[in-house]
Structure 1
Amino acid sequence: MDLTKFQALSFDCYGTLIDWESGLAAVLSPWARSEGLSLSDEELLLAYSTHEAAVEAETFRLYPDVLAEAFRRTGAQLGRPVSAEWAARLGASVPDWPAFPDSTDALARLASRYQLIILSNVHRAGFAGSNKWLRGDFAAIITAEDVGGYKPAENHFRALDTTLDSLGIERSGLLHVAQSLFHDHVPARREGLPSVWINRRRDKPGWGATPQPSGDFSYDLEFGSMGEFADAAV
C-alpha cells in the first residue's frame, strides 16, 4: 500500500492512542483486591470485555454511564456487587487514562502530511481530557456523544462521510487506523474503508478488554505501535 496517496487518517483513540486497558485496570484491580478476588489484570479485563460492548449496543447512554454499568455487570459475574462509589470512579476515569508513550510524537509527525480525524467511542469531555495527553491537531473529532451510538454500529461512519465532505476529501483519500478488530476493522470492512491495524497486544495472548470480532474483518497493513506506523507513513 502506498500510504502517501491518502490525504486523511481517521483514528480510534482508546486502545490505539490511549492505553485504555491500563486505565481500566487502574480501577478494576484495586476494586478486586478490596473484594478479596485474586485475579490478574488480564483476567479482570477479560471478565469486563463483553459487558461494555453489550451495554453500548443497548439504549444510548453517555460513556461514563456505560463504564459504570459494565462494571456493575462485571461484578455480578464475579459474584461481588460493585458499589455506587466504585462504579462512579470507573465512569470518571477516562481523562486519567495514559497515552501510549509513542502516541504524541507519532500524531505530530503524521499531522505534517495528513489531516487527522478522531472516531471514538467516548464522550466529548472524556476525549478533551485525553487530548491533554495527546496534544493532537485534529481536523475533526467524532465521539459517541456526537452521533448517539457506539462502534461497530454505523453512526460514526455516517458522520465521517459528512465530515469528509466538509473537509473536501474524497472517501478514497481516507485511511482508518485502529487497534480494535471488533470496534473498527469489522465496520471498516463493511464500509469499504482501507485500514491499518495497530496491534498493541502483539506480545499478549487473548483479546484483553476488547471482545473477539463478531463479524468479518480485514486490514491492509499491521504495525505494533503508532511509532512504527508513523515511520512508514511520513
Structure 2
Amino acid sequence: MRWVTFDCFGTLVDWRHGLLTSADLIAPGQGARLLEAYNRHEHAVQAESPTLRYRHVLAEALRRACQDEKVELNEDDAGVLAATLPYWPVFPEVGAELSALRAAGWNLALLTNCDRDLIAETLRRLHVPFDAVVTAEDARDYKPSTAHFDVFRRSHEPSAWVHVAQSYFHDMVPAHRLGIRRVWINRLGERAPDETIIQTVLPDLHGLLTAVQDGRRP
C-alpha cells in the first residue's frame, strides 16, 4: 500500500497560532513571548520523560516558559494548552490537498507527538479520514526519536512511503536517517542546517500531490 504520513501540529494545524492565542488567555499581551520561551523547553521536557503524556509536557513547558519570562501562572491555568488544543485552527489548504491525495489512491496517516485523546479531538477538525495514527503514547517516545516511524513500518509495511512535515528537527532528520522519502513544508521560511537532508520543499501544502507523485527535488 502507498502511504503519505504527516506530522500534525505545525504541518496541518496552526500550532504557533494556537499556542500564542492560548497563552494570551492566561497572560494577555504576553503570548508571543511565551511562545518563543515555550519552544526552548518542550523538547527538553520530552527528552527528560519520553513516556510523559503530552498534556503534561504542554503544562510543564508552559510553566518553565512563564518562569523564564517572569509571568505569573496559576497552577489551575497550566493546563490551558491541552484544553484549547482541540480548537487550534487547521491551515486553510489542508482539506483540499488531503482529499486530492486520497482521490489519487494514497493512504493517509499521522505520526504525532500527541496523546490519543487529544489527537482524536483534532481529527474531527481535519474533515478527511486518516487510515492510521501513531501517537507518542503508542511509540512511548517523542520525535525526533525514530520510534513513531518504526511502529508505523512494523504495523503497515508500506510499499511506497512519503513523510510530510513542517519540523526539520522533529521529522526531516529522523525520516532521512531511515531513508524515507520526505517533503518539507517550510511554512516559516527556515534554512536547513544540513541541506543534504532535504529533498522536496514546499511553503505550504499547495501542490502536495504533484510533489508526492513525482518526487521532484527543489
- Flag structure 1 segments of 5+ consecutive residues without an equivalent: 1-5
| 1:53-99 alpha-carbon deviations (Å, 9 max, x no partner) | 11111222111111000000001111224222221112222211110
Output the amino acid matched with 2:98.
L
Residue of structure 2 in register with 1:3 after alignment: none
Q: 1:102: how far off?
A: 0.7
| 1:3-152 alignment, distance < 5 Å | 7-33=2-28, 39=30, 41=32, 43-59=33-49, 60-113=51-104, 114-152=106-144
Task: Work out the CA distance in 1 between the residues paired with 2:2 and 2:14.
Answer: 26
Q: CA deviation at 1:127?
A: 1.1
Q: Are 1:177 and 2:169 counterparts?
A: no
Looking at structure 2, the residues matched to 121 and 216 of structure 1 have their Cα atoms a distance apart, in angstroms, of: 24
Runs of 4+ that moved beyond 4 A: 231-234
CA distance in 1, matches of 2:112, 2:130: 13
1:216 to 1:58, Cα distance in 2 relative to 1, 3 A? farther
The structural deviation recorded for 1:219 is 2.0
Which of 170, 174, 197 is equivalent to 1:218? 197
Q: Which structure has the higher relative contact order (CA within 8 Å, separation 6+)?
A: 1
Equivalent-residue separation in structure 2 for 1:125 and 1:93 (angstroms): 13
Contact kept? 1:176, 1:196, Cα under 8 Å? yes
Q: Distance in 2 between matches of 1:216 and 1:51?
A: 26
- Quote the offset at 1:136 in angstroms: 2.3
CA contact (8 A) 1:187 1:217 kept: no
Give 1:224 shift: 1.1
Deviations along 1:120-147, whole A, 9 cap, x unmatched? 0001111111111112222211011111
1:157 is matched with which residue? Answer: 149
Contact 1:118–1:142, Cα closer than 8 Å, also in 2: yes
For the 8 Å contact 1:12–1:120, the answer to whether it is kept is yes
Q: What number of residue pairs does the alignment pair up?
A: 211
CA positional deviation for 1:32: 3.1
Sort the Cα spacing of 1:183 and 1:78 in 2 relative to 1 into closer, same or farther, 3 A.
Answer: same
CA distance in 2, matches of 1:76, 1:216: 35
Q: Is the 8 A contact 1:140 1:163 kept in 2?
A: no
Q: Is the 8 A contact 1:188 1:217 kept in 2?
A: no
Counterpart-to-counterpart distance in 1, 2:77 and 2:91:
25
| Whole-angstrom CA distance in 2 between matches of 1:106 and 1:216 | 26
Where structure 2 has 5 or more consecutive residues not aligned to the other structure, the ranges are 214-218
Residues 194 and 219 in structure 1, CA contact (< 8 A), matched pair in contact too: no
- Give the fraction of aligned pairs with identical amino acids, expressed as a percent: 36
Looking at structure 2, the residues matched to 159 and 143 of structure 1 have their Cα atoms a distance apart, in angstroms, of: 10
CA distance in 2, matches of 1:119, 1:154: 10
Determine whether 1:228 maps to 2:207. Answer: yes
Secondary structure at the counterpart of residue 116 of structure 1: strand
- Distance in 1 between residues matched to 2:114 and 2:196, nearest whole Å: 22
- TM-score (structure 2 length as normaliser): 0.88
Rounded Cα–Cα distance in structure 2 between residues aligned with 1:68 and 1:161: 31
